Amino acid sequence: MTRRMAALPAALLVAAVVLPIVLSDYRTGRLAAVGAYFIAILGLDLLLGRGRQVSLGHGGFMALGAYTTMILVARHGLRDVATIPVAACVAGAAGLVVALPSLRLRGIYFALATFGLAVSIPPLAQKFDGLTGGSTGIAFYGSSHETGSGGSVRLVGLSLSHTQWTYALTWAIAAALFPFAWWVARKRRPTTLLAVASAAYAGVAGSLVAIDLAFFSPNAIPLEVSLYLAAAATLGLYGSIWGALLGAFVVEYLGDLVGQIPRVPASGPGPTTFVFGALLVAFVLARPLVATISRRKLPWRGERS
């Protein structure tokens, strides 16, 4: 690696450490959300690149992870960080339930089954509102099981705010999960296993969202997010880790960008959704997936099989 190639990652690393110190809590929180999306997109790329299947329900798997965390913290008094592996297991199990019937068949039925999952989560949350808090959800901000409450987290001598703490936690986990995805994708694996791993990634992402918000309700991750993530993962296929990272930023910030365009109404989701869809169509048309899904283009470049 030449010195110039190393400069960009190094600069990004420095920015990743400095930004949460200089930025407001609101902006730091949004960067934490980018980290959660990045984890979910890694999971999608794992499945898309190796398994040639797409999930249209990663928002649903995220919601499952988030509910796991919220219920365990708010109802059973577990420490929030301890619930992350449980959330991964719950979402992974749901991924298995969806994958077993749909991946046996030739075709893209996994997309359909996961879409059904994403559509089904909000009504199920409403039905079991005693557990989930229904459409209003449950907030656990300031509870004693919340690691980051009241700036009580100390890391290398720094006292972190709640948001700075969740930012650091999210990106640390993202950094740990990236090599794991690389390891899983190194060689050919059963598609079902990829689907389970992919769903588990989304579960971790959802759990981190719940920890960051100290709250979860169905509106926190609407159905659009599932579709946005699939679109972002498609963009992510085209340029190693930077593609997945770019995809995560697009999911979080596209709305702000579109709002900057003159004569476009800044309020309402319409223009953003339109631009997202148009981008996805343009991307698939410009470079038909079949030609471009090559191992070299995956987020974990350089693997061998």
Partner 1 sequence: MAGFAAHVVTGLASGGIYALLALGLVLTHRSTRTLNFAQGELATLSAFVCWALTAHGWAFWPAFGVTVLLSFGGGFALHGVVIRPVEGGSPVGVVLLTVGLLLAINGLDAWIWGAGAKHVHDPFSTATVHVAGGALSKQSLWTAGVALAVSLVVGALLARTKLGLGLRAAATSPVEARFAGVPVGALVATAWGLAAAVGAVAGVLASPTFGLEPNMMRTVLLYAFAAALLGGLRSPLAAVVGGFALGVALELLDAYVHWIDGVLRPPVAFALVLTLLLARPGRLVGPERWAA
Question: Site residues (CB under 8 A) for partner 1?
Answer: 48, 52-54, 56, 97-98, 101-102, 104-105, 107-109, 111-113, 115-117, 119-120, 123-124, 126-127, 223-224, 227-228, 230-231, 234, 265, 268-281, 283-285, 288-291, 293
Smallest separation, CB 191 to partner 1 (Å): 12
Smallest separation, CB 224 to partner 1 (Å): 8
| Residue 69 or 234 with smaller CB distance to partner 1 | 234
Smallest separation, CB 234 to partner 1 (Å): 5
Q: Phi, psi at residue 2, to the nearest 5°?
A: -75, 165
**Residue 288 DSSP code:** -
Q: At what angle do helices 270-286 and 240-260 cross, to 10 degrees?
A: 140
Q: What gap in Å lies between CA 201 and CA 174, rounded to an integer?
A: 10
Smallest separation, CB 264 to partner 1 (Å): 8
Smallest separation, CB 268 to partner 1 (Å): 6
Q: Are 204 and 80 in contact (CB under 8 A)?
A: no
| Residue 157 or 262 with smaller CB distance to partner 1 | 262
Smallest separation, CB 56 to partner 1 (Å): 7
Question: In the numeric block, which tokens belong to residue 207?
Answer: 């759990």
Q: What gap in Å lies between CA 280 and CA 286, rounded to an integer?
A: 10
Q: What gap in Å lies between CA 110 and CA 102, rounded to an integer?
A: 5
Which residues contact residue 34 at a Cβ distance below 8 angstroms, ignoring those fewer than 6 apart? 248, 249, 251, 252, 253
Which residues contact residue 120 at a Cβ distance below 8 angstroms, ignoring those fewer than 6 apart? 60
Q: What gap in Å lies between CA 193 and CA 188, rounded to an integer?
A: 10
| Residue 85 or 271 with smaller CB distance to partner 1 | 271
| Residue 109 or 242 with smaller CB distance to partner 1 | 109
| Residue 85 or 116 with smaller CB distance to partner 1 | 116
| Residue 86 or 111 with smaller CB distance to partner 1 | 111
Smallest separation, CB 122 to partner 1 (Å): 8
| Residue 156 or 290 with smaller CB distance to partner 1 | 290
Residue type (1 letter), 131: L
Q: Which of 162, 148, 149, 140 lies closest to 74 in space, CA to CA?
A: 140
Q: What gap in Å lies between CA 1 and CA 162, rounded to an integer?
A: 37
Q: Phi, psi at residue 158, to the nearest 5°?
A: -100, 140
